[in-house]
Amino acid sequence: MSGFWLTEEQESIREGVARVCSAFDDEYWRRTDETGEFPEAFVKAMADGGWLGAAMPESVGGAGLGLTEASIVMQTVAESGAGFSGASAIHLNIFGPMPIVKFGTEAQKSQSLPRLISGEDKMCFAVTEPNSGLDTSSLETKAERTNEGYRISGRKIWTTSAQRANKILIIARTTPKAEAKKPTDGLSLFFTDFDRSRIDAKPIPKMGRKAVECNTLFIDDLHVPHDALIGEEGQGFKYLLQGLNPERVLFAVESVGLGRAALRKAAQYAKERVVFGRPIGQNQGVQHPLAKSWAELEAANLLAFKAAALYDAGRECGAEANAAKYLGAEAGFSACEASVLAHGGMGYAKEYDVERYFREAMIARIAPVSREMILNFIAERVLGLPKSY
């Protein structure tokens, strides 16, 4: 979106992704949500279409497109009705490897990126820990130097897709917090094999998105070679930050996509369902929450695409990306709630899908960063208020 609408090329990206998604109907997503079966066929179709490498450099087999185009891809997936079951199945492929793109050596890039883009390798991203939560500087997983490289031990939580991953991007402490100049110094980022003899991944039973699991990881003496270190030792937090703004934008547009899917279902149902001798959608009490949700979704979307445009132009986008993630997640959630309510009792039935959307809409309100931390960021960095935490 160079201005307020898609360019011809971007429109063709949207159409291309929508075509892939059209082969995976509501029934497919309902089944994966019920059984927990990973949407393998969908991911393969997206990989075959070349969409997993949309934002990766052309030199390693990607399409070399920007965050704007990646956002169009991911929004189209969510909006198709795949919701977060579909978006989260490929989300990491789209922007997860960015620290390798930006800070990896040529050898690291050429060895890892083409295999991630083709879908041959599957990665997970392990940051969150049970004892540190949003305070990343307090994470306890340690990486100790050895002659061959490092040995990593510790615990991670919520790691998405760890059951299927054969690669892990992991952040660990290489210098104790007390000895580091700043609390966020001394953290290092590694991209390495997911060695199941050293990492035990236990799925977490959770509210929604059963098809894409989250795990607690118990890491016991994981040996990683020197060349698994991304960039410089101790600078991992800085590298992580680089990927945060794009990820917030992707969450924002995915939420908007999910909200749009919910509104589409609600409008359809409200036209067809007749009560008191007329379609329920003829009542303003049914129309207005849906119309209000539409307005909220479109406003959030504008800010998300503004953030993407700033990022693609190499400009500062922290405030916009954070605000867009906040607004997108809230608008997506409200739209899903309005859709459930417009369906009445059927909103609670699996057969109409909106109860799944409603559960999935909670994800973006919590991850990858909570609403409170976003508001903390805006209060401090935009409004100049004292840091509160």
Ligand X SMILES: Cc1cc2nc3c(=O)[nH]c(=O)nc-3n(C[C@H](O)[C@H](O)[C@H](O)COP(=O)(O)OP(=O)(O)OC[C@H]3O[C@@H](n4cnc5c(N)ncnc54)[C@H](O)[C@@H]3O)c2cc1C
Residues at the contact surface with ligand X, assessed by CB under 6 A: 125-128, 133-134, 158-160, 214, 363, 366-370, 372-373, 376, 389
Spatial distance between the Cα atoms of 122 and 162, rounded to a whole number of angstroms: 9
For ligand X, give the closer residue by CB, 67 or 214: 214
Please identify the residue of the shown chain whose CB is closest to the bound ligand X.
133
For ligand X, give the closer residue by CB, 158 or 305: 158
As measured in angstroms, the least distance from the Cβ of 389 to ligand X is 3
Question: Terminus-to-terminus CA distance in the chain, angstroms?
Answer: 36
For ligand X, give the closer residue by CB, 3 or 205: 205
Residues 6+ apart with CB under 8 A from 307: 245, 248, 249, 252, 317, 320, 321, 323, 324
Token readout for 104 is 């990896």
As measured in angstroms, the least distance from the Cβ of 113 to ligand X is 19
In order, the DSSP letters of 91-130 are HHHHHTTHHHHHHS-HHHHHHHHHHHHTTSS-EEEE---T
For ligand X, give the closer residue by CB, 280 or 374: 374
Q: Nearest-CA neighbor of 10 among 319, 303, 305, 345?
A: 305
Spatial distance between the Cα atoms of 76 and 54, rounded to a whole number of angstroms: 13
Specify the pairing of strand 167-173 against strand 123-126: parallel
Token readout for 185 is 């110094």
As measured in angstroms, the least distance from the Cβ of 164 to ligand X is 12
- Report the half-sphere exposure of 72 (CA within 13 A, side-chain side): 24
Spatial distance between the Cα atoms of 337 and 290, rounded to a whole number of angstroms: 10
Residue with tokens 């445009």: 309
As measured in angstroms, the least distance from the Cβ of 321 to ligand X is 15
As measured in angstroms, the least distance from the Cβ of 16 to ligand X is 27
For ligand X, give the closer residue by CB, 214 or 253: 214
Alpha helix ranges (H) inside 209-279? 236-272
Token readout for 199 is 């990492």
For ligand X, give the closer residue by CB, 38 or 269: 38
For ligand X, give the closer residue by CB, 175 or 216: 216
Strand partners, 155: 218
Token readout for 306 is 């503004």
